[in-house]
Amino acid sequence: MSKIQILSQILAAAQHARTLTAVANHLFVSQPYVTQVLQAAERQYHVTLIKRDTLPIQLTAAGSSLLKQLERLIADENTLNSAMAVFANKHQGPVTISFNPPLATLMGPELFTQLEQAFPDVFFEFKEATTYLASQALQENKTQLYVGSVAADPSLQSWLITHDERPCLLIPNTSPVYAKVSSRLDFSALLPRLAGADYVGLAGPSFFQDTIDRIFREQNVPLHLKLQVPNVIAATLTALHSSAITATLPFILPRLQLPVAEYRLIPIPSTTYDPRLGISTRKDAGALIQHIATTLQGLVGQFYSGKLH
């Protein structure tokens, strides 16, 4: 990994971290190494990139500007590498498709079979990424397509899937707040009844988790964060094996064969969370990527309707 990529990852992670130690843990490097990279860049440009004397740490204006410039450099380099790969390889590819973590696990195998038949000369690479990280990867051309929540970034375009994945709060019957909640209650009236409940959340930068946290914060409802896990499937299973609540996606529950009697689902209003799913690419994506996007749009729609074979 180049120095530019390392510095870009540090600055990007700092936007969602409280401390440099948290940045280091997210990137699986040491905190002294993060400090060394930052100090070298600050000496080179004669600016401060991150305010370290506040909690949480904050990017300075110079840090935000540098991050945008680095992302452009990385995107240009990846675009160049992809263009040259066409001449270096007899087959087309690789084409990287990032999936929201639950989607990768549950629909990836079925989609690959259909994609392989539709594009026999393309080498596909599947990855997992949250919406936040996938949007960043699309901008940097590290991935060519994203299957998940519709990307809000104006530099990206999305092909909508005719299915909305409306998230829900999952309350296991072992939770002390289980008896206090009912789907018949108004959502804003229900939230205060969850105050103080143990909660299983997602680790790392996650638009999904940020939105759930914001909903509780705006209603002044404190939760006790019990554990952070990598994805929604892990959060769902962990909550059901404990007394903690979590946020989940309804389509994963029947596929995990979880008994309905063990939990209650409280739908989160669409006014607080955009439930739309789509296939996202860069607006300047080539003809092949756009063809793959429209093909994926149809395949994912068939998956949700149970017609994908």
Mean pLDDT computed over every residue of the chain: 86
Domain coverage including residue 154: 89-163+275-305
Domain boundary among 19, 44, 72: 72
Please report which confidence band the pLDDT of residue 295 belongs to, taking 50, 70 and 90 as the band edges.
very high
What is the token pair recorded at 81? 């590498």
Judgement on whether residues 147 and 106 belong to the same structural domain of the protein? yes
Strand partners, 40: none
Using a cut of 0.75, tell me whether the model's pTM lies above it: no
- Whose structure tokens read 């675009």? 79
- pLDDT tens digits, one per residue of 167-182: 899 999 999 998 888 7
Judgement on whether residues 9 and 38 belong to the same structural domain of the protein? yes
Domain boundary among 15, 46, 72: 72
pLDDT of residue 186: 83
The answer on pLDDT for 146 being more than 80 is: yes
Asked whether 233 and 101 are in contact (CB, 8 A), the reply is yes
pLDDT, average across residues 127-132: 84
Judgement on whether residues 245 and 220 belong to the same structural domain of the protein? yes
pLDDT of residue 172: 94
pLDDT, average across residues 119-147: 88
**Phi, psi (degrees; rounded to nearest 5) at 36:** -60, -45
Radius of gyration from C-alpha coordinates of the chain: 21
Which segment, 129-133, 136-140, 267-271, is predicted with the most confidence on average?
Answer: 136-140
pLDDT of residue 150: 82
The answer on pLDDT for 89 being more than 70 is: no
Judgement on whether residues 201 and 261 belong to the same structural domain of the protein? yes
Q: What is the largest CA-CA distance in the chain?
A: 63
Judgement on whether residues 94 and 152 belong to the same structural domain of the protein? yes
pLDDT of residue 90: 42
% of residues, the chain, pLDDT over 70: 93
- pLDDT tens digits, one per residue of 55-70: 999 999 999 999 999 9
Domain boundary among 43, 72, 101: 72
Judgement on whether residues 148 and 209 belong to the same structural domain of the protein? no
The answer on pLDDT for 230 being more than 50 is: yes
Asked whether 235 and 200 are in contact (CB, 8 A), the reply is yes
Asked whether 238 and 111 are in contact (CB, 8 A), the reply is no
Judgement on whether residues 64 and 111 belong to the same structural domain of the protein? no
Judgement on whether residues 208 and 63 belong to the same structural domain of the protein? no
- Cα 22 from chain centroid? 18
Judgement on whether residues 33 and 56 belong to the same structural domain of the protein? yes
- Whose structure tokens read 């939230």? 191
Q: Provide the CATH number for the domain around residue 240.
A: 3.40.190.10
Count up the domains in the chain and report the number.
Answer: 3
Angle subtended at Cα 302 by Cα 296 and Cα 305, rounded to the nearest 5 degrees: 145
Residue ranges with strand state E in the chain:
50-51, 58-59, 92-99, 122-128, 145-149, 156-164, 168-172, 198-202, 224-229, 246-248, 263-267, 276-282
Position 83 in a domain: no
Judgement on whether residues 177 and 257 belong to the same structural domain of the protein? yes
The answer on pLDDT for 262 being more than 50 is: yes
- pLDDT tens digits, one per residue of 182-210: 777 788 888 999 999 999 998 877 778 88
% of residues, the chain, pLDDT over 90: 40
Judgement on whether residues 56 and 35 belong to the same structural domain of the protein? yes
* 203, amino acid identity: A
Position 77 in a domain: no
Q: Provide the CATH number for the domain around residue 46.
A: 1.10.10.10
- pLDDT tens digits, one per residue of 33-54: 999 999 999 999 999 999 999 8
Judgement on whether residues 125 and 249 belong to the same structural domain of the protein? no
